Structure 1
Amino acid sequence: MDFITPAYLEALLPFIAVGFAAQLIDGALGMAFGVISNTLLVSVLGLAPARASAGVHLVEMFTTAASGLSHAFHRNIDWSLFSRLVIPGVIGGIGGAYILVHLDASITRPFVMAYLSIIGIMLFARSFGIPTQRKKPRFIAPLGLIGGFLDAAGGGGWGPVVTSNLLIQGTEPRRTIGTVNTAEFFLTVTVSITFIIGLGFEAFTVATMGLLIGGVAAAPLGALLAKRFPTMLLLRMVGVVLIATSLFSLYRALV
């Protein structure tokens, strides 16, 4: 415990705040923890994409566990949808992590962020005319596979890709968010193990520890917000957050 000095604790505080804010948004909207956290680690701290993604996923092992339990408690999970998402997501995550360890994902990141910006715009527009009749999603397993791959390879993207596409297909926002967040726990565990095999435990940093503390603290609040927010407002906020985070990440990737 000798490393826990006043200077170390002071260095933790900004990352605790970022982790808290990122997980609060993620728990309520089903996305953005990885995007926000990874943007900070790569753009501000200058971490390599592989190490940033590894650190974020190590943190998400704990935040998604806390968030998933909270969503289960508030009955925000569609277990049928969960069972169809989780296995393809894990397979895609393993592939994305393996490739990122051997290839710089910054090459593909601008294309991913541009795609997510378009999805955000579509969701925001949809929030002004959301249908009252829900539809069963048809595009699930391939979506989980793609979402898991992009999440591991891009340092974030499971929520934006999977949640946004399911909402576009007509699923209920509250249960979609809870289901996707819960499935993400199994994805992050698998991706973290893959990164540890490829990179070792060097992914643990001061930033990782701060994000972990702030993220776990915010997880129960995010699930509560998802349960209380009106459907249209929740969908609109998903679009706004996705547009803002994706455009900022796109800008950072291009400059």
Structure 2
Amino acid sequence: MQEFILFAVVGFLAQAVDGALGMAYGVISSTTLLAFGVPPAHASAAVHGAEMFTTAASGSAHLYHRNIDWKLFWRLAPFGIIGGCLGAYVLTGIDASVMKPVVTTYLALIGAWLLFRSFRKIPSNPVPRAIVAPLGLGGGFLDAAGGGGWGPIVTTGLLGAGGQARFVIGTVNASEFLITLSVSLTFLIALLTGHWEDAGDLTKNLAAVAGLVVGGVCAAPLAGLMVRRLREKVLLRLVGTLIVLLAGWQTAQLLGWA
């Protein structure tokens, strides 16, 4: 019960920030799971299982408020799906002991990038429309392989390309549901076909997944309130600091210091 409550709080805070900024749910949730000793593939599978519900709630809210650019959506989503499936397939075929330091380092870098963004305004330089496809492919791959990153990579990339914040965040959140569904199906197929040899007992993480779902779904409607009450740089600093600290704790555990 304590684990459920803890991850419900994590899911609530992560989704509140994600809905407001278009990023951070997967990164916060994955980093927390890794800090509790969950293997990278299990953490990514658990987070994407929870995100099937949270992204559906968040995407529906953006659909209702007409925050989705459908032309951008259909250019971005297919490549995000392909990248996500590839990332999940790669993650399930590699030994967890090898991937854990890699994933921890990746998440720490994402946290550091969010901190950097909070202290310095990143200029928005026009880029070719062709950047959308590789951005979706890379964002989907790293999201699945790292357990999070679709929002930080794709949202920041599109905003840097000169996209309007309202439609970028709405479109990225809406397309994330399809990426999450595809990644979750890839994990399931890898498990059923025997490709995921290190799967182990996935039921150990059910309480954490349930907590992430309940907390995330409860927070999804509050994104608008978060946008009005908290400045972006404050949220980015809080999230970035949390991720870096959690990744640092996980690094200390890997090195035998904790």
Give me the TM-score of the superposition, normalised by structure 2: 0.81
2:51 to 49, 57, 60: 60
Compared CA separation, residues 119 and 168, structure 1 to 2 (3 A): farther
User: Are the aligned partners of 1:86 and 1:144 in contact in 2 as well (CA < 8 Å)?
Assistant: yes
Structure 1: distance between partners of 2:225 and 2:120:
21
How far has the Cα of 1:242 moved from its partner?
5.5
Compared CA separation, residues 14 and 107, structure 1 to 2 (3 A): closer
The answer on 1:152 being equivalent to 2:144 is yes
In structure 2, runs of 5+ residues without a counterpart are: 193-200, 253-258
Compared CA separation, residues 226 and 197, structure 1 to 2 (3 A): same
Residue identity in the other structure for 1:34: G
* Aligned-CA RMSD value: 2.6
Deviations 1:148-170 (A, max 9, x none): 00000011110111111112222
Structure 1: distance between partners of 2:10 and 2:113:
24
Residue correspondences, number: 239
Deviations 1:9-48 (A, max 9, x none): x54222211111111111111111111111111102x111
Deviations 1:31-88 (A, max 9, x none): 11111111111102x1111111101000000100010000111122111111111000
Partner residue in 2 for 1:212: 213
2:117 to 123, 137, 140: 123
Structure 2: distance between partners of 1:119 and 1:65:
27
| SS of structure 2 residue aligned to 1:47 | coil
Give me the TM-score of the superposition, normalised by structure 1: 0.82
User: Are the aligned partners of 1:60 and 1:185 in contact in 2 as well (CA < 8 Å)?
Assistant: yes
Structure 2: distance between partners of 1:50 and 1:108:
12
1:30 to 9, 22, 34: 22
Partner residue in 1 for 2:62: 71
In structure 1, runs of 5+ residues without a counterpart are: 1-7
Structure 1: distance between partners of 2:157 and 2:234:
15
User: Are the aligned partners of 2:27 and 2:107 in contact in 1 as well (CA < 8 Å)?
Assistant: no
User: Are the aligned partners of 2:79 and 2:134 in contact in 1 as well (CA < 8 Å)?
Assistant: yes
User: Are the aligned partners of 2:32 and 2:246 in contact in 1 as well (CA < 8 Å)?
Assistant: no
Partner residue in 2 for 1:5: none
Residue identity in the other structure for 1:106: K
Compared CA separation, residues 213 and 79, structure 1 to 2 (3 A): same
| SS of structure 2 residue aligned to 1:214 | helix
Q: Which moved more, 1:10-19 or 1:51-60?
A: 10-19
| Identity rate, percent | 46
Compared CA separation, residues 211 and 110, structure 1 to 2 (3 A): closer
Partner residue in 2 for 1:3: none
